[in-house]
Structure 1
Amino acid sequence: MMNKTPRRSAIGLVLAMATAFAAFVPALVGAQTTDGASAYPTRPVKMVVPFPAGSSPDIVARYLSQKLHERTGQPFVVDNRAGAGGAIGAEAVARSAPDGYTTFFMVNSIVTMNQFIYKKLGYDPAKDFAPVSLVAAVPYVLLAHKNLGASNLQELIAKAKAKPGSIDYASAGIGGAGHVIMELMSSEADIKLMHIPFKADGLAAVIGGQVPLMFQPTTTAVAQIKKGSLIGLGTTGSKRLSALPDTPAISEVLPRFSADGWQGLMVPAGTPAPIVDRLNKEVAAILALPETAERFAALGIEAWHTSPQKMQETITADSAKWGKVIQAARIEPN
């Protein structure tokens, strides 16, 4: 009997531990799935685009949303919330539940420029959003109407220096990316141009000849150049684009100039990390598709997948750069 007691005690201890573990496992599984990440998404997801249908970010967002639908089995529904340089859409996202069912397809100006332009924003660029991934590097093109009388950037600079303030340019509004980039180029070229802000993007006015000049993302500029509606005087990247091989980079004339834009995906701050990770992985898979490379090249843009941390680092660096440009140019809304 003396030999069996320790054995029975050991067996009892093992049974007790097994019972405790069995009770613990459901709690552990519940802790891992209470945020819904394991099955995400289980219903349609809204993708807020803070610009109008047909705009540069809208074009890319609709492609991305379709591919996300195909990969997840749930619709990613584009919701255009245009206005105030993207601030209206950004505010709507900032006020949304951080549950993964509202996503934000945005452009760099919303989190790197607007805080230096608007005295009051309905969102905090640093606190209200969580980065998922960059999606596309989007150069801009300096577009000109044929009646401008300048067929290249050197001629534009010479014309502007001969009569300072005599050449108008359009933008999608005060403080928009096109406005800020033009101010940077004007500073580098030491010229003075007159800004004409539009509530829409102003492209129609340039095509119609009412305003002779503007910066436009490649996603919409390439088609206009190929149709012959407008001419391209320069691109904002460090090298020429394969989609526009005859259009020089502005840095070929102004070596210090650099002003690429980008588009990316964010979610409301507080969205569970597993959901952010799932979205990041899906974006990576989509951007790796040969179809994506082909589609993006035709638009003059490049796929650009990053980790959430790298996206945040890019936002921080760009905020410092554009803040200096905006303050130097004294850009303020009406």
Structure 2
Amino acid sequence: MAEMVKKATRESYGMALSQLGDEFPQIVVLDADLAEATKTGIFKKKYPERFVDCGIAESNMIGVAAGLATCGKIPFATSFAMFATGRAFEQVRNSVCYPHLNVKVVGTHAGISVGEDGATHQCLEDIALMRSLPGMTVISPSDHYETLAAVRAAAEHNGPVYLRLSRLAVESFNNSDDYRFELGKGVTLRNGGDVTIVATGLMVSRALEAAKLLEQKGIDARVINIHTIKPIDRELILKAAKETGKIVTVEEHNVIGGLGDAAAAVLSEEYPIPLRKIGVNDQFGHSGPAADLLEQFGLCVSHIAEETEKFLK
């Protein structure tokens, strides 16, 4: 059993890059003048000759990463999610995905929990943007250990990857010795027969806590961690749908275009059942403490439990 730790996935990302540097000499890390915040500075300190600060020029950074990929490198192009996917969307589309280059786009500080940085930095659209691109793999790890595994999987995967990371620290729960990370395969963290809660990223730990509250009310909730949103684990979602009859999705993202819509697409095509999406309801965030914002926007444990209970009724 691995040690329980409380870390932000952005910090785990920096650690993972540093650990993989010797094993993957092709890895080159690019940043847009945010190495301290994105934690790529950890890699920079150990491998300064393989780190490029592209300045506050995210679109150019993606172009540089594409060029490095054509030379056999494995570039990890990193910035806040809002800028890595929003400002640089055209470059990610045309310079990375269209030629299917081996570039890893990493967006830290995703979601409403960016907090005081406000609406301009609280990216709630990045999953929708990245999953719309042909050939793009989209990963949203949920804790420290899953982030370590996800970064390795991204480095080993040949093709474009978007890695979504958070600012807020979360206690680890993927600590067991039998934990395995596989791209495109979800993880059933808790069995249950009344309803399935499907979550990703920061919301997975909250979904587990919500399931405990529901248990006190006699509701047996299954919890599934979908760390890879594209390609999504169709088999696991359909299995849960057939066995529990109802699905609730939880994400720190707009309810339009994210995990909920990805799950709904699977169900509508193959096994239509009732589905409830919990996320940010098609609105911008605003400045405030991260914990307060998560509660205000309905991304707290109690609200997940309440909405799931209402849905069952």
Smaller-chain TM-score range?
0.3 to 0.5
TM, length-normalised to structure 1 = 0.31
Larger radius of gyration: 1
TM, length-normalised to structure 2 = 0.33
